[in-house]
Amino acid sequence: MPETGDIVAVKRCSHSSQGKNEFLSELSIIWNLRHRNLVRLQGWCHEKGEILLVYDRMPNGSLDKALFEARTPLPWHHRRRILMGVTSALAYLHQECENQVIHRDIKTSNIMLDEGFRARLGYFGLARQVEHEIGHLMGLAHSPVRDVADIGRKWWRR
């Protein structure tokens, strides 16, 4: 628990070389990202061979648990709010960051839900950064994923 007394989520990374590589990737990418629909990284620790990432705690868990393990179905207004949050996070990652970030592992278990059932995209272990100039050369400026984020935001605004 941090000095503030807030309850946090702690992710322990694997001791394998793949685990350390994912830790370094996740840390280097998410450390500078700030968006209301991303799980906020509060800090990290690497001591005695242990690698820990400290995140804001998401009291409503992950979307997969809310959809498939909850006793009652997730109401449609929550589902809409979650969809809007995920598309907002993707638009930020693909269009608004200094370097585009391609998450590469979007699934219900990596979408966390805060106290208001707002989506927070997490787990950036497989993510990659793409500089804007390279992204345009590779066609990422109008990739299907980016266009889906645009469509989702525009459709829900009507």
Single out the catalytic residue among 56, 105, 114, 147.
105
User: Mean pLDDT over residues 67-95, rounded?
Assistant: 94
Q: How does residue 65 score in pLDDT terms, banded at 50, 70 and 90? A: very high
Report the CATH fold assignment for 8-157. Transferase(Phosphotransferase); domain 1 (1.10.510)
Tokens 């694997």 found at: 14
Predicted confidence (pLDDT) per residue in 128-155, tens digit:
777 655 444 444 544 444 444 554 444 4
Residues 151-157: contacts with CB under 8 Å, at least 24 apart? 152/83, 152/84, 152/86, 152/87, 153/84, 153/87, 153/88, 153/91, 156/80, 156/83, 156/84, 156/87
CA–CA distance, 64 with 68 (Å, rounded to integer): 6
Predicted confidence (pLDDT) per residue in 20-60, tens digit:
676 777 677 778 889 999 998 888 887 777 778 888 899 99
CA–CA distance, 156 with 158 (Å, rounded to integer): 5
| pLDDT top residue among 16 and 133 | 16
pLDDT exceeds cutoff 50 at 73 = yes
> Active site includes 64?
no
Whole-model pTM: value is: 0.73
Q: What is the pLDDT of residue 144?
A: 46
